[in-house]
Amino acid sequence: MNGTNNKFGIYKVSLRVDGKEIYSTQMDSLMPTDHRKINSWGDYEWYMQKRNWYLKGFAEPGNDLTLLQVGADRGVLTIDEERIYQITYHLTDQFGNTTVARFRIQGTPYEHLLQEVRKAEETKRANPFYVFWDRSNVVQMPGLEMRLPAGSLFRDVLLQPSVTPVEGGLSHCYRLHNAPLPLRANACLMIAVNQNVEYPEKCYIRNKKGYMGGTYHNGWITLSVRNLNDEYAIVQDTIAPEVKQLGLQYTKQGTFLRLICRDRLSGIRSLKGYVDNKFVLFTGRETYRCDLSKHGIRPTKKQHVLVVKAEDRCGNAIQDTVRFTY
């Protein structure tokens, strides 16, 4: 694409069977709304596990990415004759240089295999965790409900969920699928709080990395999620953040007020500082600094009052006051 510094490599791909094109792509443009569709075009599961990116030579049923030019069969080749199929890939860069890769597939009778596949597919579809790309789906387990809007998947999938009890926890730990799965739209996840708690509004859903959030209502916490192979559970945060004043720091760049502000559970939502009742900006992460000169505070050897107000994502707040001479 013009006007970018990215290395896109192959500009055009054409897949042909016996000389007839069944699939092609041409990288002319990419809309911001197409990013999730790219995940379906590539082997998303392999990429998330190995960090190597391979593109498919077909389009999944729910992927209408405009870059993919396919027919009614979506680029899927059906081998149903006892003969040799001639396959060619034409790979072209932006300057018209083309490489052609050829290979052959020997077709053999396989009606008995088709019968086995159809039978296995029927068994999968009867599973309550089988979800359809073109329908609204509701997945339920004890203490959990997940809703997938129609069109949020790119293909039909048999989910492989798991539930892990958490001793003394506010819910089990849930995983909706055992492998990375691209979604076109977020899923609505609902987890029940499994015991009576004081301040239920301070409960939230966390994943392996920490705070995710959610809204509490009638014993359930609801959250929009995009990763079905992540682990989700409910925890509660009723502890206010910690604030520790570090005093003044004199440097060649200026004089700074320094402090540590951290929260071990839900994380910091806001941090505000006031010197002599006037707002001052603290920047940083866990260790914060305020440049006094940017707020018109000059060294006059007078005493000042610093008030720091911190709040975490669950609404727990703390106010710390210190006096300093500058």
pLDDT digits (tens, 9 = 90+) for 192-247: 999 999 999 999 999 999 999 999 999 999 999 999 999 999 999 999 999 999 99
105 strand-pairing partners: 85
Does residue 7 form part of some domain? Answer: no
The count of domains in the chain is 3
Instruction: Quick: pLDDT tens for 69-118.
Output: 999 899 999 888 889 999 999 999 888 899 999 999 999 877 777 788 88
Whether residues 249 and 226 fall in one domain = no
pLDDT for 108: 84
Same domain, 141 and 219: yes
Mean confidence (pLDDT) of the chain: 93
Tens-place pLDDT, residues 288-320 = 999 999 999 999 999 999 999 999 999 999 999
Residue 5 predicted with pLDDT over 80: no
We report the CATH number of the domain holding residue 231 as: 2.60.220.30
Task: Please state whether 306 falls in left (phi above 0), alpha (psi between -120 and 50) or beta.
Answer: beta
Helical segments of 28-82, H only = 35-41, 44-50
List of residues 6+ apart from 34 with CB closer than 8 A: 65, 66, 67
pLDDT at residue 294, as a whole number: 92
Q: Is the domain of 208 the same as that of 248?
A: no
Sequence-distant (6+) residues with CB within 8 A of 138 are 145, 146, 147, 148
116 domain-assigned: no
Predicted confidence at residue 94, as pLDDT, reads 85
Q: 219 and 294: one domain?
A: no
Domain assignment present for residue 120? The answer is: no
Would 111 be classed as within a structural domain? no
If asked whether residues 271 and 302 sit together in one domain, one would say yes
Least confident of 120-124, 138-142, 151-155: 120-124
Assign 8 a pLDDT band (cuts: 50, 70, 90).
low
Are 217 and 141 contained in the same domain?
Answer: yes
Report the amino acid identity of residue 77. L
- Average pLDDT of 144-153? 96
Residues above pLDDT 70, as percent of the chain: 98
Residues 134 and 216 in one domain: yes
DSSP-derived 3-state class of residue 143: coil
* Domain end position, chosen among 213, 236, 259: 236
Structure confidence at residue 2 (pLDDT) = 57
* Residue 295 sits in the same domain as residue 253: yes
| Domain interval for residue 97 | 12-106
Given a contact cutoff of 8 angstroms between Cβ atoms, the answer to whether 293 and 326 are in contact is no
> Span 34-55, mean pLDDT?
93
The answer to whether position 6 is within a domain reads no
